[in-house]
Amino acid sequence: MSLLIKGGTVTTAEESYRADVYCADGLIQAIGENLEVPAGAETVDAGGALVMPGGIDPHTHMEIPFMGGRAGDDFFTGPAAGLSGGTTMIIDFVIPASDERPLDAYHVWRSRSEKAPADYSFHVAITSWSDQVSEDMETLTRDHGVNSFKHFMAYKNDIMLDGENLMHSFRRCRDLGAVATVHCEDGNMIWLMQQELLAAGITGPEGHPQSRPPEVEGEATNRAIRIAQLLNTPIYIVHVTCREALQEIVRARMEGQRVYGECLAQHLVIDDSVYYDPDPVKARAYVMSPPFRPKDHLRELWRGLQSGNLQTTATDHCAFCNVDKEKGKDDFSKIPNGTSGVEDRMSVLWDQGVETGKLTPNEFVRVTSTNAAQIFNIYPRKGAIRVGADADITVWDPKATRILSAKTHLQKNDFNIYEGMEVTGVARSTVSQGNLVWQDGDLRAEPGAGRYIERATFGPMFDAAGRAREQRPWRRVDRSEAAE
């Protein structure tokens, strides 16, 4: 099985140049002009297109169980939709119940993901603390290729961690060489606001954003960063949505702290007016956390990507449909949180980022793939176009357009948050493990073809963290007792 991508411009986070790319045995075997390839190699025409590392979506929730139901997309349909949009890998989440062992939950999720058509990996959430959890973290890093643990500061009385447990877990992350990732919203503030809003008779989806204003996110972001600073461990803030949170990240980075920030494609283009839509089905469909923000925050997030203060883009793909969302029709706090977008992320980023002059094509690759691969330590196997890398490649047509719609999308969701938007920049072909899995509308995804990708601990950022700790050893003064 071999494949030649011919006539395109290789575009990486680093550079752009004309070259053909030859793939065989799942890997990139050669890059160059006018490559000679064995007879029988399939040819993909990349004329006029860019040949880029396939997108990596570092934040998805496929097949997540909720109140007896399941999110619409499972580990086959979700990643398959991603392939049609140029995304060749996801990093999903194992989320143990607060009384469940992380290791047990990991095995449950692994069995669900066996049907995946493309490569994937898992962050594991820490939703409680005990010696057992601490031990499981070590087992997961040592034996199962996990190098990142997720923490929720929201969802009080459920999976929220308090300050003490955050510190326990961050310290464990540090010692194991794993990245601590955090959902930063203050669960106590939200809980209070929810009670106030419901008491005031505001039960509809407009209560959702009002219960989680930007200061809730800003506060939690600052607190998580300060804890990570105290413990001197790298931290990755998922779905940054507002100026208040971004400012904390910028401040910490300027002080030399290893802080990374992710933003979601939808937070870059959709504003909070959607929650005030008179149609309850529509307004509920946009319920996710953190919520969409007023327009001025959108521009700030773009600037975060431009300046490098935010490094990655994701979708938080979580395909709850109306049948699930309806469970909160009388109480917004019971609407399952989640929107979809794994299929559209790259097109939205190209159309709204590159087409408008906010990002260069190289920066586009950086924020859709390469940075995620580097932070989660799977680079250059993923996120790179080079000999020896996995042949996960997107042939990107920078001029073609398509209209985003629930009527035509492949993800299993009855709603598309970008409905009707015409975007420029489309995946013409997608190659996964060296196989052509998407070609001009023809999806050839195969259940179970995807592999679980193990991620090694102690990524490059730990080189500095370890040395920095040695600079500040504990000090002890030996004092003799005064003679009596």
Partner 1 sequence: MSLLIKGGTVVTAEESYRADVYCADGTIQAIGENLEAPAGAEVVDAGEALVIPGGIDPHTHMELPFMGTVTADDFMSGPSAGLSGGTTMIIDFVIPSPEQSLLEAYDTWMANAAKAPSDYSFHVAITWWSDQVREEMGVLTRERGVNSFKHFMAYKGAIMLDDEILLNSFDRCQELGAMATVHAENGEMIFHLQNKLLAMGITGPEGHVQSRPPEVEGEATQRVITVAGVANAPLYVVHCSCKQSLAAIAQARANGQAVYGEALAQHLVIDESTHYLPDITMASAHVMSPPFRTKEHRDALWGGLQSGTLQTTASDHCAFCAPQKALGKDNFTLMPNGCGGIEDRMSILWDQGVKTGLLTPNDFVRVTSTATAKIFNIHPRKGAVSVGADADLAVWDPNASRKVSVKTHHSNMDFNLYEGMTLTGLARATISQGKQVWDGKDLKVEKGVGRYIPRPTYSSVFDRVKTYRALNAPRRVERAQAAE
Using CB under 8 A, list all residues that contact partner 1: 14-16, 250, 253-257, 302-304, 306-309, 354-363, 374, 379-380, 460-461, 463-471
What whole-number distance in Å separates Cα of residue 90 and Cα of residue 82? 9
What whole-number distance in Å separates Cα of residue 51 and Cα of residue 172? 40
Cα–Cα distances in angstroms (integers) from residue 365 to residues 55, 84, 187, 464, in the given order:
8, 17, 34, 26
Residue (of 440, 408, 348, 447) closest to 113 by Cα position: 447
CB of 151 to partner 1, least distance (A): 23
CB of 167 to partner 1, least distance (A): 21
CB of 164 to partner 1, least distance (A): 27
Residue (of 393, 310, 94) closest to 383 by Cα position: 393
Query: What does residue 356 show for φ and ψ, rounded to 5 degrees?
Result: -95, 0
**In terms of CB distance, is 308 or 448 closer to partner 1?**
308
CB of 59 to partner 1, least distance (A): 22
Tell me: cis bond preceding 380? Omega within 30 of 0 counts.
yes
Q: Is 109 helix (H, G, I), strand (E, B) or coil?
A: helix
Residue (of 222, 288, 264) closest to 71 by Cα position: 288
* Neighbour-count burial of 343, counting CB atoms closer than 10 A to its CB (0-12 exposed, 13-18 middle, 19+ buried): buried
**In terms of CB distance, is 114 or 255 closer to partner 1?**
255
Alpha carbon 20 to its chain's center: 30
What whole-number distance in Å separates Cα of residue 4 and Cα of residue 36? 10
**In terms of CB distance, is 2 or 16 closer to partner 1?**
16
367 close to 383: Cβ distance less than 8 angstroms: no
Pairing of strands 393-403, 50-53: antiparallel
CB of 29 to partner 1, least distance (A): 14
**In terms of CB distance, is 54 or 328 closer to partner 1?**
54
CB of 225 to partner 1, least distance (A): 13
Q: Is 32 helix (H, G, I), strand (E, B) or coil?
A: strand
**In terms of CB distance, is 454 or 463 closer to partner 1?**
463
**In terms of CB distance, is 303 or 451 closer to partner 1?**
303
Strand positions, DSSP E, 325-392: none
**In terms of CB distance, is 68 or 357 closer to partner 1?**
357
Q: Helix crossing, 214-231 with 163-176: angle to 10°?
A: 50
Dig out the tokens for 118 from the structure: 């493309």
**In terms of CB distance, is 180 or 437 closer to partner 1?**
180
CB of 300 to partner 1, least distance (A): 8
CB of 258 to partner 1, least distance (A): 8
Cα–Cα distances in angstroms (integers) from residue 466 to residues 67, 176, 463, in the given order:
43, 12, 6
CB of 347 to partner 1, least distance (A): 17
**In terms of CB distance, is 380 or 447 closer to partner 1?**
380
